[in-house]
Amino acid sequence: MSKITDIVTALAEPVCKSLDCELWDVEYVREAGSWYLRVYIDKEGGVSINDCEAVSQALDPILDKEDPIPDSYTFEVSSAGVERALKRPSDFERFVGSYAAVSLYSSKNGSKEHFGYIVSYNDGDITIRDKKGKEETFKKNEVTGVHLRIE
């Protein structure tokens, strides 16, 4: 059986596309004792509350019919946000030159979080350039996550 997020992604992608949105990510997480299914969308020019509502209204009956989640959950649709997580190689390619925070499992050079402009992404390794021009590459196994940041 496929992961719930994979199933929901397959169901959500055509819905988002039909509404001129891009599916950014799908999360299925447990928080404070409850399950949440979150669908994050993006759109050229930005996502409005109307876009989130349209995707929610179109996707909700499909989720009810296909029933990929046997237990009860809260369903949310929202914008990926300006400080979105970057996960796929295409995310990094799209945002080369953008300012980001790279979070690490262990401290490196005195910090578990490093900030800089994305220079490259190669097989999970990410290179950033700080504001002083110093470049640093972080190996895939060192990185817990990468998020865009507003300067």
**Residues 110-146 pLDDT 10s:** 999 999 999 999 999 999 999 999 999 999 999 999 9
Query: Position 3: which residue type?
Result: K
Residues of the chain under the 50 pLDDT cut: 1
4-79 — its CATH code?
Answer: 3.30.300.70
- The encoded tokens of residue 31 equal 């928080």
Alpha helices in 2-80 (DSSP H): 4-18, 49-66
Q: What's the pLDDT score for residue 1?
A: 42
Give one DSSP letter per residue of 123-138, joined into a string: TTEEEEE-TTS-EEEE
Q: What's the pLDDT score for residue 2?
A: 62
By DSSP bridging, strand 34-42 and strand 74-79 are: parallel
Euclidean distance between CA atoms 151 and 121, whole angstroms = 21
Q: What's the pLDDT score for residue 151?
A: 86
Annotated domain spans of the chain: 4-79, 85-148
Asked if the 85-148 domain carries CATH number 3.40.190.10, the reply is no
Burial (CB count within 10 angstroms: exposed 0-12, middle 13-18, buried 19+), residue 69: middle
Burial (CB count within 10 angstroms: exposed 0-12, middle 13-18, buried 19+), residue 30: exposed
